[in-house]
């Protein structure tokens, strides 16, 4: 090794010795901040329709349940409206069941009385939802949020992904069936998308999908759930919306896309979409896959009918 090598042994030795000289007060402050940061308790959904969702345990008492008024809201059909309660006494956190229909389980055992939670404990609500109790510092919290965002959203368009869509429908569909409310699904995809990719390239195709998602999002209501189902296929879930209104929404989306100028590297690319609509209680569907299948069939009927149009599943 030559004397002027950037990683000379003497340099390494001096650097190593230098890093060992740490101000004691600074070190104590850093350790205190780290300890304080790890005192924050969280509940993380590790199984069920809301997998990845994170709840900060920062109140003296908080209700876990399906009710929209529950501080820790989990919309799972197997969970009671007010299912369980999380209680904080100083640095200790406890869980208790609120006489729920399907029970609360702690590490596999049915909860019969209030129990203190330890780092890593698992709470089961109903038949599918499991929450993990843990402590996080700020870095871990941010990492968990990033992981949740990646798990729920499509990387290209930024809208929800197929996994989130199916989980969402797995709670919305039973709710609509149980209460006899409206629930509609709109499926659509880009007409002649493969020739567009072949002609203009995949970068142009990606640009079109991103722009299409952004434009469509601007048409929808806040409560509508919009997801990329796969490839150039997208799905809209409209809670409390009858089929005729969902059809009108689909046609509005169709017209907005048709009129938009998709321009890639100075070249305008004409884009249209075909859409299919199905919904409860007009159509019979017991599972998310059945309802999506009906809307998907209506989509392909629209394509066979000439594309750039809206199809509705037969009643």
pLDDT digits (tens, 9 = 90+) for 163-217: 889 988 987 898 889 889 999 999 999 999 999 999 999 999 999 999 999 999 9
Task: Point out the catalytic residue in the list 91, 214, 223, 232.
Answer: 232
Q: Give the confidence band of 77 by pLDDT, cuts at 50, 70, 90.
A: confident
Given this model, what pLDDT does residue 35 score? 46
Q: Do the domain assignments include residue 23?
A: no
Q: Do the domain assignments include residue 227?
A: yes
Average pLDDT, the chain: 88
Given this model, what pLDDT does residue 112 score? 96
Q: Which residues form the domain of 237?
A: 153-312
Give the number of domains in the chain.
2
Same domain, 277 and 249: yes
List the one residue out of 125, 148, 133 whose CA is nearest residue 65: 125
Given this model, what pLDDT does residue 30 score? 53
Given this model, what pLDDT does residue 52 score? 80
Same domain, 182 and 214: yes
Same domain, 99 and 217: no
Stronger pLDDT, 160 or 47, i.e. the higher one: 160
Q: Give the confidence band of 293 by pLDDT, cuts at 50, 70, 90.
A: very high
Q: Do the domain assignments include residue 212?
A: yes
Query: For the domain that residue 78 is a member of, what is the CATH number?
Result: 2.60.200.20
Same domain, 176 and 246: yes
- Calculate the alpha carbon distances from 191 to 15, 196, 227, 273, 294 in Å: 62, 9, 18, 5, 19
Same domain, 160 and 67: no
Same domain, 108 and 58: yes
Q: Do the domain assignments include residue 257?
A: yes
Same domain, 211 and 292: yes
Q: Put the strands of the sheet holding 54-57 in their side by side order.
A: 54-57, 41-47, 129-135, 122-125, 104-106, 109-110
Same domain, 91 and 175: no
pLDDT at 148 over 60: yes
Same domain, 108 and 248: no
Q: Do the domain assignments include residue 4?
A: no
Q: Do the domain assignments include residue 177?
A: yes
Q: Is 286 left (phi over 0), alpha (psi -120 to 50) or beta?
A: alpha
* Tens-digit pLDDT profile for residues 225-281: 999 999 999 999 999 999 999 999 999 999 999 999 999 999 999 999 999 999 999
Chosen domain end from 88, 114, 140: 140
Stronger pLDDT, 138 or 276, i.e. the higher one: 276
Same domain, 125 and 245: no
Same domain, 109 and 171: no
Given this model, what pLDDT does residue 188 score? 98
pLDDT at 304 over 90: yes
Stronger pLDDT, 36 or 225, i.e. the higher one: 225
Same domain, 45 and 108: yes
Chosen domain end from 116, 140, 164: 140
Mean predicted confidence (pLDDT) in 129-153: 82
- Calculate the alpha carbon distances from 33 to 20, 29, 40 in Å: 20, 6, 12
Given this model, what pLDDT does residue 8 score? 46
Chosen domain end from 140, 175, 196: 140
Q: Do the domain assignments include residue 209?
A: yes
Query: For the domain that residue 160 is a member of, what is the CATH number?
Result: 3.30.70.270
Neighbouring CB atoms inside 10 A of 105's CB total 16
The token pair at 260 is 């938009």
User: 245 phi and psi, to 5 degrees?
Assistant: -70, -35
Q: Give the confidence band of 13 by pLDDT, cuts at 50, 70, 90.
A: very low
Given this model, what pLDDT does residue 33 score? 52
Q: Give the confidence band of 99 by pLDDT, cuts at 50, 70, 90.
A: very high
The token pair at 257 is 């896309």
Q: Do the domain assignments include residue 136?
A: yes
71 tagged catalytic: no
């Amino acid at each position: 090794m030559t004397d002027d090598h950037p990683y000379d042994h003497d340099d390494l030795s001096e650097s190593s010795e230098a890093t060992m000289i740490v101000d004691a007060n600074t070190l104590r402050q850093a350790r205190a901040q780290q300890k304080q940061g790890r005192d924050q308790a969280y509940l993380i959904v590790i199984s069920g329709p809301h997998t990845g969702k994170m709840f900060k345990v920062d109140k003296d008492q908080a209700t876990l349940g399906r009710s929209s008024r529950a501080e820790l809201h989990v919309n799972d059909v197997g969970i009671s409206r007010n299912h369980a309660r999380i209680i904080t006494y100083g640095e200790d956190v406890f869980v208790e069941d609120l006489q729920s229909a399907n029970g609360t389980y702690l590490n596999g055992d049915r909860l019969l009385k209030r129990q203190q939670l330890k780092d890593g404990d698992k709470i089961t609500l109903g038949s599918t939802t499991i929450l993990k109790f843990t402590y996080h510092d700020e870095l871990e919290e941010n990492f968990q949020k990033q992981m949740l965002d990646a798990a729920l959203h499509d990387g290209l368009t930024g809208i929800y992904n197929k996994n989130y869509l199916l989980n969402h429908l797995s709670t919305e569909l039973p709710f609509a069936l149980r209460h006899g409310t409206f629930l509609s699904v709109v499926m659509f995809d880009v007409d002649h998308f493969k020739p567009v990719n072949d002609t203009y390239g995949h970068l142009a195709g990606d640009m079109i999908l991103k722009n299409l998602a952004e434009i469509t999002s601007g048409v929808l209501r806040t409560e509508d759930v919009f997801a990329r189902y796969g490839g150039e296929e997208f799905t809209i879930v409209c809670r409390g919306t009858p089929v005729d209104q969902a059809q009108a929404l689909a046609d509005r989306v169709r017209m907005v896309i048709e009129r938009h100028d998709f321009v890639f590297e100075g070249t305008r690319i004409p884009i249209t979409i075909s859409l299919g609509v199905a919904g409860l209680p007009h159509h019979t569907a017991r599972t998310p896959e059945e309802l999506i299948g009906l809307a998907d069939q209506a989509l392909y009927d629209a394509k066979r009918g000439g594309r750039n149009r809206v199809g509705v599943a037969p009643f």
